[in-house]
Amino acid sequence: MSLIHLHLHRRLFSSTARPSRPSRAWSPHAAFAAATERVRAGNFSWEDAHNLFDELLRRATPVPKPSLDGFLAALARALASEACRDGPALALALFNLVCRDESGARVAPPTIFTYGILMNCCCRAHCPDLGLAFFGRLLRTGLKADLIVANTLLKCLCHVKRTDEAVNVLLHRMSKLGCVPDTFSYNIVLKSLCDNGMSQQALDLLHMMAKEGGGCPPDVVAYSTVIHGFFKEGETGKACNLFHEMMHQGVEPNVWTYSSIIDALCKARAMDKTELVLQQMVNKGVQPDNVTYNCMIHGYSTSGRWKEAVKLFREMKSRGLIPDISTCNSLMTYLCKHGRSKEGAEFFDAMTAKGHRDVISYCILLHGYANEGCFADMIDLFNSMERNGIAANCYVFNILINGYAKCGMMDEAMLIFTEMWEKGVSPNVVTYSTVIAALSRMGRLTDSMDKFNQMIAMGIQPNTAVYHSLIQGCLMHGGLVKAKELMFDMMNKGIPRPNIVFFSSVINSLCKEGRVMDAHAVFDLAIGIGERPDVITFNSLIDGYCLVGKMDTAFKILDVMESVGVEPDVVTYSALLDGYFKNRRIDDALTFFREMPCKRIKPNTVTYGIMLGGLFRAGRTVAAMKMFHEMIESGATVRISTYNIILGGLCQTNCVDEAIALFQKLRAMNVKFNIEIFNTMIDAMYKVQRKEEAKELFAAISGNGLVPNEYTYAVMIRNLLKGGAVEDADNMFSSMDNSGIVPSSRLINDIIRMLLEKGEIAKAGNYLSKVDGKSISLEASTTSLMLSLFSRKGKHLEDIKLLPAKYQFFDGFG
C-alpha cells in the first residue's frame, strides 16, 4: 500500500467514527468540479483529498460518474507540484478507496471511460502491471474495450518490456476486441521497439502500415521515431535511407526529425554535415527549436569549436529562443574542461539569476574548480547549494573528495567524507575507490585497509578498481605479502586478478623512481602467480637497471627475455643504448648500435635521439653530425625534438656558428620550431655577441604562434644584465610578471647577485622583497655575496639601508 493510500485509508475510516458536522446543502457535482479546477491549477493536496472524501462519506448523495471521472482524469494529467507530487498515484489511491463497501453505494460502477483513465494513471505512476490488472478487471465486467483503452493497453505492455505481446495485440487481438488500430496505436509500438534496440523490426512494422491500403499510413511521428531508433543503434545508413524514403512518400520532416539527425551527426563529430542539415531545415520552413540548438551547441563544444558554439548561442537568442539549463551546461562543460571555470561561473551566475539551476550545473562547475585546484571557490559553491535548496547527492561529494585526493589533501578529503555521512548521503563504491586509491598512493596502507573493511561492512562490494588501488599501494610500499593476500581474495570472489599489464605499470613506476630491486621483486611475484611477462615488462626492468648503472644485470635480463621467447624490440635496444651513454660507455654504445641491423631491428627517431644526445654530451660533435646524416639516409622521421638535440648539442660544444647556420637553413625551409629551440638559439646568439639578432629572435616568438616561458625570459634577463642593460632587464621582468609567469627561485637569486655586483643596490632590494622563504629562498651564494658587500668592511656598507628592513642586519658581521 502506498503512503498516500495508507494515509487516506486511515483518515477516511477514522472519520466515520467522528460526529458529523451540521448538515448543509452539498452538491457532489459542484464539489468535484471545484476540486478538478484546483487540480488543474496545481494547488490540490492530499489534505484536500481527505476533506473531499470525508464529506463524500458523510453524505448520502450519489456522486455523478462524470464528475468523478473528470476529477480522476485531471489528476492523471496533473504535473508534479508542491501541493501534490504524484497526481496519478493519488488518483489510483482514491479510486481504490471509493470502491470499498463504505462508499461504494455513493459511486456508480466504473465505466469504460473510468478504466481508460485508471490504466493511463498506472502508466504515468510507473505501475504498468496494475494497469494490466485493471484491463483484466474490465474484461471480467463484460465491458467492451474502445480504442483509447486498447491504446493504453499497448502502453502498459510496452512499459513492462512485453513489446512482442504489444505487437501481437496491435496486429491481431485489437480487431477481436472490436477496435481498429490507428496511427497512434502503431506509434506506441514503434517507439517501444526502437527504445529496446529493435529498430529493424520497427521498420518492418512501418512498411506494413504503408501497405495496409492507406487506412493507417505512417505519419511524420512514425518515420521520425524509427529514424531516431536507427541513429541510436549506430545504423546511420539505414536512418538516412529512411529519411529519403519519408521525403519520397510526401511526408514532410518536422523539427523533431531534423533534430534527431542533427543530434546523431553531432555525436559523430560531423559538424560540417550538421550545418548543411540545419540549412536544409530552415529552407524547408522548419524553424529550429531549443533542442536543435542544444544539440549543435553541445556538438561544437565537445569538438572544441568554442567560437562556433558561442555564435550559435547568440543566434539562438536572436531568434527569440530562451537558452535553458541544457544550453548553459554544454557551454559550462567546455569552459570547465579547458581550465576556464571562472568564465563558466559567469554562465552559471546568469542562469541562477533567472531561477534556473539544477544539480548537474553545480556538478559541472564543482568539477571544473576541483580540476583547477580552486578549492575556495569549490567550497563556496558547494555551500551555496544548501542555501538554494538543492541537496548534494553522492556524485557531488565524490567530486569534492576526488578534487582534494588528487592533490594529496587527504585531511580535507576525509572531512568531506565525514560531512557526507552527517548529511545522510551514503558513500558508494566510487567514493570508497577514490579514498582508498589516494591513501594507497600516499603509502597509508593501514588507513586504506580500514576504509576497505568499512565498505565491506556497509554492504558495498569492492570492485576491480578498489582491489587494484590497494594492491598497487602494497607493491609500491613493500607490502608484497598483503598484495598476494588481496589477489587471492579477488579470485575467491570471482573478480579477475591483476594481469601483466597491471604489473608492468607498477614495475615501470618503481624503476622510474630508481627502486629497481623492488621492481624485480614485483616481477618475481607476477611470475610466481602464473603471469607471463611481455616485452613491456622486460623493457621496464631493463631500463630500471640501466638507470641505476647496473648494465651487466640489464644484459642478464635481456638474456632471460630471449630465452623465454620474448623478442627484444627497438625500445629494448634504445633503453640499453641510453644506459651505456649515461654510464659514459660511449664506445660500447656505438658497438651495440651497430649490432641492431644484425638483429633485424631498425633504429627509430627515439633511438637516433639517444645516440645524438649521447655523442654531443661526450663532445663527439663530428660523430654526432655523421649520425644525423645517417639518420636522414635511413628514412627515420626527423622531428622538432631531433633538431632541438642537434642545435643544443652544437651550442654546448661551442659550435655556435654551425648551430646558427643550421637554424637559419631550417627557418628558410619553414620548419615549425618549438619554444625550446628559440630559447637555445637566443642564448647562443648572445654567447657570440649577436645581441640584436637575439632580440629580433625574441620578438619573432609570438609571430610563430608561440609564447615565451620562464626559461625564455630568464635567458633574456641574464644576458641583458650581463650587457649592462639594467633597465631593459627590469622591463623584461615586468613583462614576464604581467604574462602571469612565476619566476623561479634560481632566476631571482641570479638577478639579485648580478645587480649587487653591478652596484645596483636599490634595484637588488626590489628583488630581495620577492624572497618569501617558501617558493623563493636565498641561495647560499647570494647570502655569501651580501655578507661580503654589507659587513663592517664591505664596500657597500653605507648602502645597506636601500635593502628591505629584514636584510639590514648584515652590518653586524665583522
pLDDT digits (tens, 9 = 90+) for 665-695: 988 888 888 999 999 999 999 988 899 999 9
What pLDDT sits at residue 221? 92
Query: What percent of the chain has pLDDT above 70?
Result: 90
What pLDDT sits at residue 599? 87
Q: Are 258 and 243 spatial neighbours (Cβ–Cβ below 8 Å)?
A: no
State the residue for C-alpha cell 658587500: 789
pLDDT at 806 over 80: no
- Of 106, 104, 126, 123, whose CA–CA distance to 115 is shortest? 123
What pLDDT sits at residue 63? 64
136 — pLDDT class (breaks 50, 70, 90): confident
Instruction: Give me the torsion for CA of 518, 523, 528, 531, rounded to 10°.
Output: 150
What pLDDT sits at residue 452? 93
pLDDT digits (tens, 9 = 90+) for 611-661: 999 999 999 999 999 999 999 999 999 999 999 999 999 998 889 889 999
Q: How far apart are CA 57 and CA 292, in angstroms?
A: 52
Residue 475 exposure: Cα atoms within 13 Å on the Cβ side: 30
Q: How far apart are CA 363 and CA 382, in angstroms?
A: 9
Q: How far apart are CA 572 and CA 559, in angstroms?
A: 12
pLDDT at 102 over 50: no
pTM of the predicted protein model: 0.69
Mean pLDDT, all residues of the chain: 85
- Of 633, 700, 654, 635, whose CA–CA distance to 673 is shortest? 700
**Residues paired with residue 63 on neighbouring β-strands, in sequence order:** 107
Domains and CATH numbers, the chain: 569-638 (1.25.40.10), 744-814 (no CATH)
Give the H/E segment covering residue 463: none
pLDDT at 103 over 80: no
Q: Is 112 exposed, middle or buried (0-12, 13-18, 19+ CB in 10 A)?
A: middle
pLDDT digits (tens, 9 = 90+) for 543-560: 999 999 999 999 999 999
Q: How far apart are CA 359 and CA 396, in angstroms?
A: 8
Q: Are 49 and 12 spatial neighbours (Cβ–Cβ below 8 Å)?
A: no
What pLDDT sits at residue 49? 73
383 — pLDDT class (breaks 50, 70, 90): very high
Q: How far apart are CA 332 and CA 361, in angstroms?
A: 8
- Of 644, 569, 563, whose CA–CA distance to 607 is shortest? 569
Q: Are 474 and 480 spatial neighbours (Cβ–Cβ below 8 Å)?
A: yes
Segment among 92-101, 125-134, 528-537, 640-649 with least mean pLDDT: 92-101
Residue 80's alpha-carbon distances to 9, 46, 361, in angstroms, are 22, 13, 22
Averaged pLDDT, 256-277: 87
pLDDT digits (tens, 9 = 90+) for 712-763: 999 999 999 998 899 999 999 999 988 888 889 999 999 999 998 888 888 8
Averaged pLDDT, 589-607: 92
What pLDDT sits at residue 11? 44
pLDDT digits (tens, 9 = 90+) for 458-509: 999 999 999 999 999 999 988 888 998 999 998 888 899 899 999 999 999 9
Q: Are 187 and 221 spatial neighbours (Cβ–Cβ below 8 Å)?
A: yes
Angle, helix 675-687 to helix 640-652, in steps of 10 degrees: 20
pLDDT at 76 over 70: yes
What pLDDT sits at residue 98? 63
The full DSSP string for 335-352 is: HHHTT-HHHHHHHHHHHH
Question: What cell was used for 362?
Answer: 553545480
pLDDT at 561 over 90: yes
Residue 188's alpha-carbon distances to 169, 254, 319, 704, in angstroms, are 12, 18, 33, 60
777 — pLDDT class (breaks 50, 70, 90): confident
What pLDDT sits at residue 26? 65
Cα four-point dihedral sign 748, 754, 756, 761: negative
Question: What cell was used for 529?
Answer: 602467480
What pLDDT sits at residue 23? 45
What pLDDT sits at residue 456? 92
Averaged pLDDT, 336-362: 86
Q: Are 701 and 707 spatial neighbours (Cβ–Cβ below 8 Å)?
A: yes
Q: How far apart are CA 573 and CA 534, in angstroms?
A: 15
pLDDT digits (tens, 9 = 90+) for 211-255: 865 568 888 999 999 999 998 888 888 988 998 898 888 888 889
Averaged pLDDT, 440-454: 92
State the residue for C-alpha cell 578529503: 413
Instruction: Give me the torsion for CA of 425, 471, 476, 500, rounded to 10°.
Output: -130
